[in-house]
Structure formats: structure tokens, C-alpha cells
């Protein structure tokens, strides 16, 4: 299995992803340049990561310009053929803007950028990044975003629930999904979702920032381990 981390102009978590996937998880990982229009050397057993950051400065709606990058055509095609695509923070926003995932990410309800640890409750284990976790398991993972309020219309929300596409919800330390533990006003406290085919997943929290004991928190590593385990199980 191979990982490709897309570098958009303004991506700033690309190096962090390279570090965790390459150095910490010891996986073959390469950077992909946004101007490339092909994913050379990747097949459907591989995973493309859209990292966090402020693509194109995010002066327009977050992710709205990056979705027009040449490489996104290839990413959409790759996803369509069953390849895994994982978007984190800005990557999640780009996936929603490009239509690979439903919904949008609006400015936080508090109208401020927020960077802090939050707790996530695993809602669905039916995805590569949650397959090895337990439903209701609580993970401490940091967020860092200004536009993380997940929103979708009623019909989309109903589909997300019906198809078990909600991967993570914001919760308190004990796992209770309550308003005071929802940092950005996301609908239904949604922190991460997957598509219907379950090969495209997006989330606002940053597991790559919580994947090493030296940083005092390795909860995020569980998602990387789950992904690797579920691929090798196939």
C-alpha cells in the first residue's frame, strides 16, 4: 500500500502527514503536486490524503478554489474507481466542495478560529479508519479550524444516518454527545463522515497531531493503524 499526500498552495499540514505516515507508521509516502493532472503509480489499494492548511489562502470559501486544481480531477476519478481518499480539516472542506462528500463546512458558530483538544465518539466502525475501533469509543484529538461547522440539508442528513456514514461526533470526555462539547456548532455534532461507498472519508480533527507518545497523545495513531489493518485484511 502506498500513500500520496497532495500539496496545494497553502497546504500546511502536508509535512505533518508525511512525518506520521512515512516516519511514524513507516509507510511508503510521496508528495503529490496540485498541478499534476494524473495520479501516476497509484492503484485502488492505495490512499490519497488531502492535508490540512489554507489552500489558496481560503480567502474565498474554504476549499472552494482547491477543488479546481488539476489534481482534483484525478482524485475524483481515483475515488470513483474505489481508491481511498482521506481529507483532514482543509482536506475535508475540499472533499465537500468537490462533491466527493456531502454537506458543507461553515464558519464556526463562535465566529473564531479554535485550536484545542476535543473528544470524538466513534459513531460508525464501517470505514477503513474506524474499522479497528469500537462504536462509542472516545478519542482525544485536536481541532484547529475557523470553518468546521458541518451542515447539510434534511434529506442529506437523513441519508447520512440511514447509510451509517457518520464516523465521528464531538463528545465530552465521558463520551456524551452534548451541546457543550460541540466546539463549532456542527449539525448533529458531526466531526467526520464517509461517502456511501465508504472509500472517501473526511474529518475536521487532526489525528496526525496526536500520533506520537512524545506529544503526550497517541489516540490519533489508532486511525492510521485501523486503516493499515483494514487494507491488509482485504
**For other proteins, the closer CB: 77 or 173:** 173
**For other proteins, the closer CB: 117 or 126:** 117
Interface of this chain with other proteins, residues 148 to 207, rule: CB under 8 A: 206
- Does 68 participate in binding other proteins (rule CB under 8 A)? no
Interface of this chain with other proteins, residues 116 to 145, rule: CB under 8 A: 116-117, 142, 144
Which part of the chain contacts other proteins (CB under 8 A), choosing from 91-99, 107-115, 158-166, 190-198?
107-115
- Residue of 20, 50, 122, 200 interacting with other proteins (CB under 8 A): 20
| Alpha-carbon span 62 to 59, nearest angstrom | 7
**For other proteins, the closer CB: 1 or 114:** 114
* CB 191, min distance to other proteins, A: 17
| Alpha-carbon span 149 to 204, nearest angstrom | 9
Whether residue 208 lies in the annotated active site: yes
- Does 19 participate in binding other proteins (rule CB under 8 A)? yes
**Residue 82's CB: how many other CB atoms inside 10 A?**
11
Whether residue 119 lies in the annotated active site: no
How many Cα atoms within 13 Å fall on the side-chain side of residue 193? 32
For the chain, the three-class secondary structure string (H helix, E strand, C coil) is: CEEEEEECCCECCHHHHHHHHHHHCCCEEEEEECCCCCCCCCCCCCEEEECCECHHHHCCCCCCCHHHCHHHHHHHHHHHCCCEEEEECHHHHHHHHCCCCCCEEECCCCCCCEEEEEEEEECCCCCCCCCCCCCCCEEEEEEEECCCEEECCHHHHHHHHHCCCEEEEEECCCCCCCHHHCCCCCHHHEEEEECCCCCEEEECCCHHHCCEHHHCECCCHHHHHHHHHHHHHC
Whether residue 89 lies in the annotated active site: yes
* CB 106, min distance to other proteins, A: 17
Q: Residues touching other proteins: how many (CB under 8 A)? A: 34
**For other proteins, the closer CB: 21 or 75:** 21
Binding mask 31-60 for other proteins (x = CB under 8 A): ---------------------xxx-xxxx-
Q: Give strand pairing partners of 88.
A: 203
Of the residues 13, 47, 89, 194, which is catalytic? 89
- Residue of 40, 155, 216, 232 interacting with other proteins (CB under 8 A): 216
Positions annotated as catalytic residues are 89, 206, 208
Residues that bind other proteins (CB under 8 A): 9-10, 12-13, 15-16, 19-20, 23, 52-54, 56-59, 112-117, 142, 144, 146, 206, 208-209, 211-212, 214-217
Amino acid at each position: 500500500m502506498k500513500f500520496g499526500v497532495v500539496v496545494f498552495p497553502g497546504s500546511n499540514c502536508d509535512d505533518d502527514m508525511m512525518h506520521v505516515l512515512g516516519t511514524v507508521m513507516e509507510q511508503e509516502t510521496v508528495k503529490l503536486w496540485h498541478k499534476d493532472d494524473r495520479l501516476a503509480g497509484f492503484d485502488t489499494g492505495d490512499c490519497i490524503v488531502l492535508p490540512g492548511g489554507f489552500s489558496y489562502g481560503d480567502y474565498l470559501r474554504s476549499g472552494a478554489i482547491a477543488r479546481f486544481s488539476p489534481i482534483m480531477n484525478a482524485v475524483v476519478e481515483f475515488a470513483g474507481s474505489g481508491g481511498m481518499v482521506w481529507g483532514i480539516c482543509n482536506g475535508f472542506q475540499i472533499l465537500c466542495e468537490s462533491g466527493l462528500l456531502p454537506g458543507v463546512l461553515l464558519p464556526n458558530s463562535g465566529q473564531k478560529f479554535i485550536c484545542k483538544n476535543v473528544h470524538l465518539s466513534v459513531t460508525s466502525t464501517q470505514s477503513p479508519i474506524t474499522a479497528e475501533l469500537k462504536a462509542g469509543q472516545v478519542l482525544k484529538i485536536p481541532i484547529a479550524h475557523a470553518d468546521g461547522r458541518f451542515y447539510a440539508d434534511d434529506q442529506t442528513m437523513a441519508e447520512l444516518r440511514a447509510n451509517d456514514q457518520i464516523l465521528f461526533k464531538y463528545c465530552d470526555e465521558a463520551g456524551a454527545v452534548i451541546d457543550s462539547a460541540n466546539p463549532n456548532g456542527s449539525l448533529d455534532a458531526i466531526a467526520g463522515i464517509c461517502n456511501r461507498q465508504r472509500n472517501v472519508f473526511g474529518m475536521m480533527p487532526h489525528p496526525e497531531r496526536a500520533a506520537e507518545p512524545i506529544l503526550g497523545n497517541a489516540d490519533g495513531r489508532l486511525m492510521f493503524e485501523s486503516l493499515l489493518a483494514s487494507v491488509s485484511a482485504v
